[in-house]
């Protein structure tokens, strides 16, 4: 698969898109699947989002047939297993995407919440999300990024993640500044909006937005609890 912007991909002649290995010719594709994630050539993640949303709605339709037999509590448990698990799987790669791109995932979560509470389609679902204590999709992405940064900060993350980000105190030019003793991480400069989707930028950005009292926590279970409370307040009360 050739990756690039739409304009860049159009510049490549069609006969140059294939590779010859011995007597075999390998043709390119527009999308590939790796570890359950569908990557398209322009890295828009639109195909991945559509596939996840489609799978979620499939399970919602099946659960709808037995909803009145199993009750709200069992339905909520099944929704967590079949829907939320899909929404949360590798969702950090969706950081920085436009709201319109991740909208199908939010609609799937809303549909799951409506089915649990038997909320009519024309009624607002926000109160049901609050009752279930479910973070909206956008905040679930932020939660995952913050958790990964916490694991990096507490030296629990693998090196391939730790090596991507740089803590502010370790930057020589910042050692004499007030921020040199903070818990912040460097956000690299990006020339395009596309670059802000990279983990090296998106993860430090959300981490730096956390209060220092939360950043300083070394207990992961405690961090996760306080982080969810903070994001829940930002999602519904700010």
Domain residue spans of the chain: 6-37, 44-134, 140-236
Within a 13 Å sphere around the CA of 227, how many CA atoms are in the beta-carbon half? 27
Structure token digits, residue 232: 């829940």
Inform me whether the pLDDT recorded for 106 exceeds 80.
yes
Q: Report the pLDDT value the prediction gives residue 10, as an integer from 0 to 100.
A: 82
Structure token digits, residue 217: 């926590």
Query: What pairs with residue 37 in β-bridges?
Result: 34
Residues of the chain with pLDDT > 70: what percent?
A: 93
Structure token digits, residue 96: 């920085």
Mean pLDDT of 43-69: 96
CA gap 214, 223 in Å, rounded: 7
Inform me whether the pLDDT recorded for 193 exceeds 90.
no
Q: Helix count (H) and strand count (E) of the chain?
A: 11, 4
DSSP state of 211: -
Inform me whether the pLDDT recorded for 172 exceeds 80.
no
| Strand, coil or helix: 24 | strand
pTM of the model: 0.89
197-212: pLDDT as tens digits: 999 999 999 999 999 9
Q: How would you class 14 by CB atoms within 10 Å of its CB: exposed for 0-12, middle for 13-18, buried for 19 or more?
A: exposed
210-237: pLDDT as tens digits: 999 999 999 999 999 999 999 999 999 8
Q: How many CB atoms lie within 10 A of CB 115?
A: 21
Q: Report the pLDDT value the prediction gives residue 170, as an integer from 0 to 100.
A: 55
Inform me whether the pLDDT recorded for 15 exceeds 70.
no
Q: Phi/psi of residue 77, each to 5°?
A: -65, -45
Strands (E), 19-172: 19-21, 24-26, 31-34, 37-40
């Amino acid at each position: 698969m050739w990756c690039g912007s739409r304009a860049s991909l159009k510049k490549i002649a069609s006969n140059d898109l294939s590779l010859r290995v011995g007597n075999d010719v390998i043709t390119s594709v527009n999308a590939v699947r790796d570890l359950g994630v569908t990557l398209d050539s322009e890295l828009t993640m639109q195909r991945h989002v559509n596939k996840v949303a489609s799978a979620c709605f499939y399970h919602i339709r099946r659960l709808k047939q037995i909803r009145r037999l199993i009750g709200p509590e069992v339905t909520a448990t099944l929704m967590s297993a079949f829907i939320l698990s899909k929404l949360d799987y590798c969702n950090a790669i969706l950081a920085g995407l436009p709201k319109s791109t991740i909208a199908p995932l939010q609609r799937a979560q809303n549909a799951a919440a409506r089915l649990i509470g038997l909320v009519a389609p024309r009624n607002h679902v926000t109160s049901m999300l609050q009752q279930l204590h479910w973070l909206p999709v956008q905040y679930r992405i932020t939660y995952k990024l913050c958790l990964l940064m916490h694991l990096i900060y507490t030296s629990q993350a693998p090196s391939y993640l730790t090596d991507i980000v740089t803590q502010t105190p370790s930057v020589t030019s910042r050692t004499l500044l007030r921020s040199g003793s903070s818990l912040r991480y460097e956000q690299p400069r990006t020339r395009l909006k596309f670059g802000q989707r990279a983990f090296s930028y998106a993860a430090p950005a959300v981490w730096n937005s956390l209060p220092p009292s939360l950043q300083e926590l070394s207990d992961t279970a405690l961090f996760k609890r306080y982080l969810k409370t903070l994001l829940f307040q930002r999602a519904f009360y700010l």
